[in-house]
Amino acid sequence: MRELLEREMEALRIEILRCTLCGLHKHRKNPVVGEGSLHPKIFFIGEAPGRSEDAAGKPFVGSAGRIFDKMLESIGVKREEVYITNVVKCRPPGNRTPTNEEINACSKYLERQISLIKPRVVATLGSVALRWAGERFGIRQKGVSHLHGKIIHLDADYGRVFLVPLYHPAVALYNPGMINVLLKDIRKILEV
Ligand code: SF4
């Protein structure tokens, strides 16, 4: 089973590396597929790669990544114990928000990552990821400002899921006071 999962994830990775389904492929240096444990304690979904992630081909390695690392550290979880990916796998120019067309084109990859990994704890980072998860898991749409730091119990097609909406770590780059909110919210995960 484990080998099959690894093979399917590798096939998916290669598919994403070659993907030209939306216009973002023209601007990217590297698609950011996602990385981490295939049996993760937490499955994190961000919005899209930024400049550093695009250059490295890895998720959350820039300044927002350093805040993300602090969040993980605060709950005693290592990067290799979680899986991290984004709704959209290629960097939107100038770090703009991905369009609905780009999200729709790319959604099938995140859907497959979730179908293969079947995560029990899904943490969304920011409003784009929360909106995507709301549609995927069929919950009523409310914004991250209402739902951050709450635990939403869901019955997914593969079993019980705990959804934990969080702000995107980048909010603390523009508003340093938000780091306390991020750290308080992520501690909620310890309850599940
Ligand atoms: Fe393909 Fe997604 Fe990249 Fe668009 S963003 S080119 S759909 S991998």
For residue 139, the model assigns a pLDDT of 85
Question: Residue 160 has which token pair?
Answer: 């019980």
Instruction: Tell if the pTM clears 0.75, that is, is over it.
Output: yes
Average pLDDT (103-111) is: 98
pLDDT digits (tens, 9 = 90+) for 139-162: 877 899 999 999 999 999 999 999
For the CA atoms of 172, 175, 177, 178, the dihedral, rounded to the nearest 10 degrees, stands at -40
Lowest mean pLDDT among 19-23, 61-65, 102-106, 138-142: 138-142
**pLDDT confidence of residue 188:** 94
CB 37 within 8 A of CB 119: no
What is the best residue among 45, 102, 111 to mutate for testing ligand 1's pocket, by most ligand atoms within 8 Å of CB? 102
Cα–Cα distance measured from residue 20 to residue 10, given in angstroms and rounded to the nearest whole number? 18
Nearest CA to ligand 1 atom 7: 106
Kindly report, residue by residue over 34-84, the tens digit of the pLDDT: 999 999 999 999 999 999 999 999 999 999 999 999 999 999 999 999 999
- How many residues does the structure list for the chain? 192
- 13-20 mean pLDDT: 98
Q: In the chain, count of helices (H) and strands (E)? A: 8, 6
Q: Which amino acid is at 74?
A: S
**Cβ atoms of residues 90 and 48 within 8 Å:** yes
Write out residues with Cβ below 6 Å of ligand 1: 16, 19-22, 24-25, 31, 88-90, 102, 105-106
Tell me: the pLDDT tens digits for 164-179? 999 999 999 999 999 9
Pocket test for ligand 1, best of 15, 17, 25 (most atoms within 8 A of CB): 25
Q: Is 76 left (phi over 0), alpha (psi -120 to 50) or beta?
A: left
Q: Please choose from 16, 89, 100 the residue to mutate so as to test ligand 1's pocket, defined by most ligand atoms within 8 A of CB.
A: 89
Question: Cβ distance 34 to 83 under 8 Å?
Answer: yes
> What DSSP element (H or E) covers 133?
helix 127-137
Q: Residue 95, Cβ neighbours under 10 Å: how many?
A: 13
Q: What is the distance between the alpha carbons of residues 17 and 105, in angstroms, rounded to a whole number? A: 14
**C-alpha–C-alpha distance, residues 167 and 70, integer Å:** 14
The rounded distance, in Å, linking the Cα atoms of 22 and 103 is 9
- Give strand pairing partners of 44: 84, 123
